[in-house]
Copies of this chain bind each other. A is one copy, B any other.
Amino acid sequence: MIDVPSPYLLFLGDAPDALAAKMAVASHRFRPERTIGQLRLEGCAVDLGVPDRTPDEAAARGARALVLGVVRAGGRLSAAWVPTLVAALDAGLDVVAGMHDRLADEPEVAAAAARHGRRLVDLRHSPWTPVVGTGEKRSGRRLLTVGTDCSVGKMFTALHLTDALRARGVDATFRATGQTGILIAGEGIAVDAVPADFLSGAAEALSPAAAPDHWDVIEGQGSLFHPSFAGVSLGLLHGSQPDALVLCHEPTREHLRGLPHRPIPTLSECVAVHLASARRTNPEARLLGVSVNTAALDEAGAREALADVSEETGLPAVDPARTGVDALLERLR
């Protein structure tokens, strides 16, 4: 387990949209008891609906850390964030981040942490010793969420599936593969930060051999169809050896995230390519259905989107936030 100090102040920085502040938004959604306020810079377009607080105010209310809940492309630290991180350390808080850059590599931040004896926690850099994947079969069962695109709800769906399995009395563990999931779960491996040679090895380590009726519910990353991240997605898919896949989809997306000229692949292509790839390490892999993120639609639009997806794929379609995930889990019997 990673010892994430909480409660914490969520730093949203200058996030232009909720996806840029995904780490803060998801932490507050799934672990609201840990939020002691938000801290936003000028230009921030996100509001968690909690009080804005300075590091000193948060510390006075019992905060133990500031969590850097905003990302930039490439997992880089923004110079604009440094004064806030230093102020947090000056206020006696630890700092938690999920970047590719390490907090201690920023001299001002490292100096402030040393000055106050505070911890710098880099969630994306797991204390895991890299090994190459073997593709060897492991006991226990595994479910992996995969996506038609990046940022379509793979972590969200995996968390809901884990809760729903447990509610049915199934022994299930959420397996975090990214910084936000690790913040929520307190453990995991950020697979996009491991040297590429060890991708499937990381996925194998993340869901080790388990009891035959235990389910690991593994958070997917990226998309097999996204030219920026498909390598990560394939290594995770092979190493996870999933018995079951759930395809996640955002029906209002007009193109791949960040790539205006790249269309979203068709659902039937997604189903076929994911099953073919998964069956290379688990010939029994099957797709339970589609988790559709209908947050951008009204109730009628959502119902229509779910019906369309179900008709196109011949599989159950759910939105965890509207319908729950029972229709997917029924197919596990």
Bound CA span A229–B234, Å? 9
How many chain A residues touch B (CB < 8 A): the figure is: 42
23 A-B residue contacts at CB 8 Å? A73-B132, A74-B198, A75-B197, A100-B195, A100-B197, A134-B228, A134-B259, A135-B227, A135-B228, A135-B262, A192-B196, A193-B196, A196-B196, A196-B231, A196-B232, A199-B231, A199-B232, A200-B227, A200-B231, A227-B280, A230-B234, A230-B238, A230-B280
Least CB distance from A204 to B in Å reads 9
**How far apart sit A280 and B273, CA to CA, in the bound complex (Å)?**
12
Cβ of A225 within 8 Å of any chain B Cβ, yes or no, is yes
Write out the residue numbers on chain B whose beta carbons fall within 8 Å of the beta carbon of A281.
227
* Residue numbers in B under 8 Å from A199 (CB-CB): 196, 231-232
Determine if A133 is an interface residue (Cβ-Cβ < 8 Å): yes
Grouping DSSP codes into helix (H, G, I), strand (E, B) and loop, the A interface class, with mixed when no group exceeds half, is helix
Q: How far is the CB of A195 from chain B (nearest CB, A)?
A: 5
* A191 proximal to B (CB < 8 A): yes
| Complex-state Cα separation, A196 to B177, whole angstroms | 12
Q: Given the known A-B contacts A228-B133, A231-B234, are A194 and B195 also in contact in the complex, defined by CB atoms under 8 Å?
A: yes
